[in-house]
Amino acid sequence: MAKEHCVPCRGGESALDPVELNALLPLTPEWHVDDSRGFATLTRTFKVKGFAGALKLANQIGLAADEVDHHPELRVEYGRLTVTWWTHTIPGLHRNDFIMAARTDSLFENLR
């Protein structure tokens, strides 16, 4: 899934329906859907080394995000990085968010 292409979002996209969502969730098993913002987001906290480790992963995610012009929210703390993806134009979850979650996993795997 990490190698799948993101579709440009130009507005008017609709959120994944529950069937689509349930089909995608097993493909990113370390991520969970969080509704605390009032819409669905996909989030994962990565354990990393110190503050520099969190920033290192954050910078790599930033490059991947700029490439496709689709950006997450990152919470940088000492020893961990929390990554939250959603599609602002919906707002909610699009297939793109799962693609980017899978890419984030790859970046993390290659970091260690």
In the complex, the residues that contact its own copies under the rule CB under 8 A are: 50-52, 55, 58-59, 62, 65-66, 71, 73-78
Toward its own copies, which CB reaches closer, 24 or 70?
70
In whole angstroms, how close is the CB of 66 to its own copies at the nearest point? 6
- Nearer to its own copies among residue 33 and residue 52 (C-beta): 52
* CB atoms closer than 10 angstroms to residue 10: 7
| Sheet strands (E) in 48-101 | 73-77, 80-85
Is the distance from CB of 42 to CB of 86 less than 8 angstroms?
A: yes
Q: How far is the CB of 52 from its own copies (least distance, A)?
A: 6
Q: Closer to its own copies at the Cβ: 47 or 78?
A: 78
Closest separation in Å from C-beta 83 to its own copies: 10
Residue of 38, 46, 32, 44 lying closest to 92 (CA atoms): 38
Residue whose CB is less far from its own copies, 13 or 20: 13
Region class of 55: left (phi > 0), else alpha (psi between -120 and 50), else beta:
alpha
Task: Output the smallest distance, CB 78 to its own copies, in A.
Answer: 4
The DSSP symbol for 16 reads P
